[in-house]
A and B are shown apart, each in its own frame.
Chain A
Amino acid sequence: MRRGFLITVLLLTSSLTVHAEQITSDTVREWLGRVTDAGKNLNYQGTFVYRHGNDLEAVRIIHKADKKGERERMISLTGAAREIVRNNKFVTCISPENKSVVVDNKTPGSRLPSFPKELAKLDAYYDFNFEGYERVASRQTRRVVIKPQDRFRYGYRLWIDDAFELLLRSELIDPEGNAVEQIMFTDIKVFETIDEKLLQPNITGREYNWITDDDVQHDDPMPVDARWSVKNKPKGFMLEHHNMHRLPESNLPVEHLVYTDGLAWVSVYIEKLAPESELLQGASNMGAVNAYGRIMGQYHITAVGEVPAVTVELLSSSVVHAK
């Protein structure tokens, strides 16, 4: 009798283990694809905390999706009172402290994590694993790990709601295994529908400066110098964009090359040296974002991105101007 019970327990345990192992990396990637859809298509309200470096912020989010499209409002609950409201056309940032309202009409995306559609090719640079079930915001979640196969990109630990497939917690992991950034919902509710009023920003408009930065987003296309390239890149990093911009503050054109492996993104900026300007030479970082600057002949080169310091240094140092 007792032995029978033990065997049953053993069988149950082993069958559960097998079940967890049966979750293939393909299945995990399917989940990640659905996470992005859930974040876009569901109506929800919740609060998440956001840790970067030693800073901790709390943000309230209200997300609505219907036939009119996606609407989202984020309200900072800590520090200065700020709001971000976005719809299909605009992102509006309201900052009472600075008395400014910024309307940005570039194609807006959610500020919450989302995943590219093409995850299969990432198999060559990352491992996808399911690690078991955990509770977040008092909901059952599946814990998933995306582990890079080299030290040139960050990894991720992700907690996916078991029922709604919303991402309830995420951590950005550096090559040493530390979480350099975390987002975690402390409460979340999914609704059939959400009252339109809840999406209205809480501002008066009085004494506010209304700013649009069309100039930044809509600069006239300028010809690029195709002789610029980055010779040594980590495996899988491909050139995604090559543009010429005029950035705010300086009117000098800037050569802009964007490289990505599908998950990690790095920009390389190349500017002609201007007299008496202070330049970044060497490494700098802001939270998980790293930058590396150097002077090359008559040019200043800066690589910036959410990648480890070694990656921006490699890209910045490998810029070549073909003769």
Chain B
Amino acid sequence: MTKHIDEQISAFVDGELASDDADVLISKILDNDELRSRWANYHLVGHAIHGESTNNTVDLSNSISTALANEPTVFAPQRRKRVLPAAFKQVAGMAIAATVAAAAVLMVQPEEQNLFNPAGVGNVASSAPIATKQNVLPVSAGGINWSVAQPSVASKLNTYLVNHNAYSTPVRGTLPFAPIVSYSDKHKMTDDSVVLEYNPTGSSVRR
């Protein structure tokens, strides 16, 4: 039984567990402290094997989304309230805090808190100025970039392309992730910027 569960956890962490089995396993993990601890350890082992730093954000969206897609009731509201990150943090330690946080959001997310809902983001935007001036640099997707030598020219072309995309409706769709905008190190946030911090108790904190 234990061995079987271990295999299942291992397969789940690797994203290789069939979705029906994953649903059952997630229910068990949610209800059992020891299993949660083992699940966390599997993640640590996985990172060590793959040579990844454990304080990076880990994308669990795939395996968890798949599980959700097939049986969303696993994450019923009354159950979600019980599974707060405190339990995770105790067993997992700070090293996998990022991992846990990522998973916890999916599981904990109370309905009334719409911080993670795009519409909610808009409400925040209108009540508090979260916009910062400029410094928004577009980044190309997947490592491809303009065939030019000077970064400033590439940056200018990116700016043009983002603007061009806003004014055109090409058939092919735009590069799925090209409009993702990010900061370069030389364009740090200014002091009047507002960073939203996730608070597991359910309210958003501005600092």
Contact = CB atoms under 8 A, between A and B. Distances in A.
A210 B72 CA distance: 29
Contacts of B69: 45, 195, 198
Interface in B49-96: 57-62, 64-65, 68-69, 72, 75
A190 interface: no
A301 to B, nearest CB: 11
Contact of B174 (A79, A83, A111, A249): A111
A114 B189 CA distance: 36
Q: Identify which of B58, B125, B134, B171 gathers the most chain A CB atoms within 10 Å of its CB.
A: B171
Contacts of A176: none
A265 B170 contact: yes
A98 B155 CA distance: 17
A55 B178 CA distance: 13
Contacts of B57: 81, 96-97
A197 B180 contact: no
B33 interface: no
A136 interface: no
B165 to A, nearest CB: 9
Given A90-B118, A204-B198, A278 B152 contact: yes
B148 interface: yes
A114 B60 contact: no
B115 interface: yes
A166 to B, nearest CB: 13
Interface in B142-180: 142-148, 150, 152-153, 155-157, 159-164, 166-177, 179-180
A289 interface: yes
Contacts of B144: 52-55, 286-287
B206 to A, nearest CB: 10
Contacts, number: 266
A110 B40 CA distance: 37
B8 to A, nearest CB: 22
A198 B68 contact: yes
A202 B122 contact: no
Given A95-B182, A200-B116, A210-B194, A267 B109 contact: no
B181 A102 contact: yes
Contacts of A102: 136, 180-182
A280 B173 contact: no
Interface in B122-147: 122, 124-125, 130-137, 139-147
Contact of B116 (A201, A215, A240, A256): A201
B18 to A, nearest CB: 15
A125 to B, nearest CB: 13
B173 A205 contact: no
Interface stretch (A9-17, A19-27, A302-310, A314-322): A302-310
A87 B179 contact: no
B5 interface: no
Nearest to A282: B148
Given A90-B122, A204-B102, A204-B105, A76 B177 contact: yes
A86 B179 CA distance: 13
B122 to A, nearest CB: 5
Interface string A230-263: 0000000000110101011100000010101001
A44 B167 CA distance: 27
B204 interface: yes
A103 B125 contact: yes
Contacts of A198: 65, 68-69, 72
A291 B146 contact: yes
B101 interface: yes
A115 B121 CA distance: 30
Interface in A66-116: 74-79, 81-87, 89-93, 95-98, 100-106, 109-116
Contact of A89 (B72, B122, B150): B122
Contact of A280 (B117, B119, B156): B156
A206 B118 contact: no
B1 interface: no
A110 B173 contact: yes
A185 interface: no
27 contacts: A54-B144, A60-B62, A79-B142, A81-B57, A81-B59, A83-B61, A84-B176, A86-B118, A90-B119, A109-B169, A200-B117, A202-B60, A202-B106, A203-B116, A205-B197, A205-B204, A210-B194, A212-B130, A215-B131, A243-B167, A249-B159, A258-B164, A265-B170, A286-B146, A291-B157, A302-B160, A304-B157
Given A111-B173, A202-B61, 14 more contacts: A89-B119, A96-B57, A97-B57, A98-B139, A114-B169, A195-B69, A202-B60, A204-B102, A205-B198, A265-B168, A280-B156, A284-B148, A286-B140, A291-B157
Closest 7 CB pairs of A and B: A265-B168, A81-B59, A98-B182, A205-B198, A267-B164, A96-B57, A55-B142
